[in-house]
Amino acid sequence: SVRAFLDELGRARGADRRYDAFLTELTHELTMPDPASAERRARLLVDRMAVALQASCLLQFGNPHVAAAFCASRLCSSMPLVNYGASIADHGCPAAELSLIDRLMVFS
């Protein structure tokens, strides 16, 4: 249900102001749907739900630098679907870049 989904997302509320703003907008979209545009907006809405869940998981359980970079690059854009190929380098998060690079390095 929508309520259960929003409750799950609410667990990360307060961890990042960008996430909080995104969650407020998403909550409004899910609880006050516009029937006239629901069908054409379905794909965008599901995309936003997925991004919100990713952000929630990162904020609760992930590396704080990576979570901050994710929120900066995925939640703060005025362009929908910016999450495809978004770069954290554009958002001034060098610590997050190093965290991601460290995770990619293979040491033998």
Q: What is the pLDDT of residue 51?
A: 94
Report the predicted TM-score, pTM, of the whole model to 2 decimal places.
0.76
- Rounded CA-CA distance 69/93 in Å is 6
Across the range 4-17, mean pLDDT stands at 98
Q: What is the pLDDT of the chain when averaged over all its residues?
A: 81
Condensed to tens digits (0 to 9), the pLDDT of residues 55-90 reads 999 999 998 988 998 898 888 766 555 555 555 555
